[in-house]
Amino acid sequence: MKKIIYIIILNLILILNTYAKNHNLIQVAELNKLFNELSKINNVQDGDILEKKIWAVWNKHPNQNKLTEKLELGTNLMYQGQYHYALKVFTNIIEKDPEWSEAWNKRATLLFLMKDYQKSLDDISRVLNLEPRHFGALSGRAQIYIDLELYQKALSDLKEAQKIHPVIRGNRLIDELEKLINGQNV
């Protein structure tokens, strides 16, 4: 009898694991489709619509609704200025699923707001390792580099974000940074 129960439990684990992987594959396919569409956009309004759709996918955990809810909680806490509580929430999410790029990105954003630039940069590196197309992380890192007066690095990140998201709002900073780097008045 124990053997049968053991086999049933193993089968359930395999089925649930397959479901989780398939759910994640669905999310990856959706992102691939959206990024393909985004690469062809040439106006800001359509770009904004696709950007919101991409953020919606990123902000939804592929197979754990509880983690999505926690991310929403942490985000709300961050926007309310409750940084230390938000930090605990985001860190807890990362501990539960270190492969979810958006948890790292939210914590990187929070660390930026807390002026802990090095930890934010560390988290951004994790985001970009998990999701190299994360234009939000690239833009965030560019902002840190601007604050640190590392203008060439900021320019590089903004240009990389532009390759992914041709009409991203941060494009306006590219000309200003190029002028600043070249010693021209901004």
**82 torsion bin: left (phi>0), alpha (psi -120 to 50), beta (else):** beta
* Domain contains 52: yes
pLDDT at residue 169, as a whole number: 86
Q: Per the domain annotation, does 166 fall within a domain? A: yes
CA nearest 81: which of 115, 114, 118, 120? 114
pLDDT given at position 180: 87
Listing DSSP states for 109-142 in one string gives HHHHHTT-HHHHHHHHHHHHHH-TT-HHHHHHHH
Task: Select the more confidently predicted residue: 53 or 12.
Answer: 53
Q: What pLDDT was estimated at residue 21?
A: 44
- Of the pLDDT bands very low, low, confident and very high (cuts 50, 70, 90), residue 171 is confident
* Residues spanned by the domain of 28: 2-181
Tens digit of pLDDT for each residue in 1-49? 666 665 655 444 544 444 444 447 889 999 999 999 999 998 999 999 9
126 inside domain: yes
Q: Into how many domains does the chain fold?
A: 1
The DSSP letter of residue 82 is -
